[in-house]
Amino acid sequence: MAFRRFVTSVVLGIPIGITFFDCVGYVARVDGISMQPALNPNSNTDYVFLSRWDVRNRNIKRGDIVSLVSPKDPTQKIIKRVVGLQGDVVSTLGYKQDILRIPEGHCWVEGDHTGHSLDSNTFGPVAVGLMTARASLIVWPPERWGVLRSELPNRRQPLHTAKSTNYH
């Protein structure tokens, strides 16, 4: 009888768990200093909840911290802040163009620790399809529990924002 309950739990639990991780979200460790001070202050490691739901529903806005597949190395995931959306005009920090209009279906992402991040200033606008999730909460360590706010420093605001940022 106990074996039967165990098998039933596994048979039901695995598909439910996979569906949750694939559709809703998961917890991931954030390494590195590129998102300091928002993440990993004092070189500590933060664990964040990554919401796949927001990316699936195209609910991404300027200031959000997102996880994405690196355009330089598709085996690596990176975490950056969205600075500009399609149609926005942004000033870059060392990219081949000083001012750039973000093409349709793309966004501009940067690390908060300017100069210590491989981001759009290195590889240019990023296809929205490379986004995998939006970081919404710090879940570990306990003293850092909290919601990650979507905010952009005034110095990184787009020069011009597009009227429509709909990715549909």
| Catalytic sites, residue numbers | 34, 80
Q: CA quadruple 128, 132, 138, 141: dihedral positive or negative?
A: negative
Strands 46-51 and 25-30: antiparallel
Q: CA quadruple 28, 146, 133, 22: dihedral positive or negative?
A: positive
Of 133, 103, 112, nearest to 63 by C-alpha is: 112
Strands 106-110 and 77-85: antiparallel
Which element (helix H / strand E) includes 127? Answer: strand 126-127
End-to-end CA separation in angstroms for the chain? 51
100 half-sphere exposure, CB direction, 13 A CA radius: 25
